[in-house]
């Protein structure tokens, strides 16, 4: 949750895009077949209405710390710690079973901007590494989650500031328990200028949902990385 002739392989090793610290997997997509049961959508008004005044204030505080930080790249160690503290406080206001919360999915607005990661190079993999950022300037990092089990990650970038491109992954979502989900992605698709091709293999990620409301979603990867997603309402959000 993401750019004249150019040979990418001659400049950089083929970077593997990664959301939530994904790693290669040989699991079959058959194991990810998933159907949300009707009770997943039976969330009481008190459960969905989790935006109490303290939570609202914490959400505003968190967003003010992470917006326009290049996904967390520009933050200092102390600032990352401050983000983590606010996120930990927000965890107290999370619904009991966030994986069943219909706010995860969006009918009108299914897209979430990836506005922060405590490991800033994790979303986008090699494209967001220190070396990768010399060649690829990130424009957007977006994750779309659509019922019943579709996940799409996309990182848009420009190469040397003038050639647009994007790398995208499509995956299937599977609920593991009341907080954890797993997504298995197909091989990534890379588009740069007129070029369009796939490379690599499948990958899989696991993510714990620690908070969700109408505006934001917090997740923690299996390796401990904190992610902040902001729901996109039509326009884009600078990361």
- 103-151 pLDDT, tens digit per residue, is 998 777 889 999 999 987 777 677 777 777 778 888 899 999 999 999 9
Give how far Cα 16 sits from Cα of 73, 81, 89, Å: 19, 28, 33
Other CB atoms within 10 A of residue 164 CB = 13
pLDDT of residue 14 exceeding 80, the answer is: no
Instruction: Answer whether residue 46 is part of any domain.
Output: no
Provide the domain count of the chain. Answer: 1
Alpha-carbon distance of 229 to 115, in angstroms, equals 6
Residue predicted with more confidence, 6 or 86: 86
Q: For residue range 53-105, list pLDDT tens digits in order.
A: 689 999 999 999 999 999 999 999 999 999 999 999 999 999 999 999 999 98
Query: Would strands 150-159 and 163-175 be described as parallel, antiparallel, or unpaired?
Result: antiparallel
Closest CA to 90 of 215, 211, 207: 211
Residue 19 counted as domain residue: no
Residue 227 lies in a domain: yes
Angle, nearest 10°, between helix axes 77-91 and 53-66? 160
Which CATH number is 75's domain given?
Answer: 2.40.128
**Residue 3 counted as domain residue:** no
Residue 5 resides in a domain: no
Residues 6+ apart with CB under 8 A from 196: 189, 190
Q: Which of 22, 205, 212 is nearest to 125 (CA)?
A: 22
Which residues span the domain enclosing 126?
53-231
Classify residue 97: in a domain, yes or no.
yes
In a domain, 64, yes or no: yes
Residue 193: inside a domain = yes
């Amino acid at each position: 949750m993401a750019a004249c002739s150019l040979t990418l392989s001659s400049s950089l090793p083929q970077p593997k895009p990664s959301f939530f610290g994904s790693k290669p997997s040989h699991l079959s997509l058959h194991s990810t077949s998933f159907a949300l049961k009707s009770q997943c959508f039976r969330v009481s008004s008190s459960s969905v209405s989790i935006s109490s005044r303290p939570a609202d204030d914490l959400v505003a505080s968190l967003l003010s710390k992470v917006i326009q930080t290049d996904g967390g790249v520009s933050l200092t160690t102390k600032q990352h710690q401050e983000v983590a503290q606010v996120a930990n406080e927000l965890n107290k206001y999370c619904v009991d079973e966030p994986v069943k919360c219909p706010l995860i999915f969006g009918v009108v607005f299914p897209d979430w901007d990836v506005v922060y990661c405590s490991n800033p190079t994790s979303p986008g993999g090699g494209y967001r590494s220190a070396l990768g950022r010399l060649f690829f300037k990130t424009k957007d990092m977006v994750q779309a989650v659509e019922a019943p089990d579709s996940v799409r990650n996309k990182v848009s970038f420009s190469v040397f500031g003038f050639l647009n491109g994007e790398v995208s992954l499509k995956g299937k979502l599977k609920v593991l328990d009341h907080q954890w989900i797993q997504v298995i992605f197909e091989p990534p698709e890379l588009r740069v200028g007129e070029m369009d091709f796939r490379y690599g293999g499948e990958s899989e990620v696991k993510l714990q949902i620690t908070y969700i409301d109408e505006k934001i979603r917090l997740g923690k990867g299996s390796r401990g990385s904190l992610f902040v997603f902001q729901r996109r309402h039509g326009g884009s959000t600078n990361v």
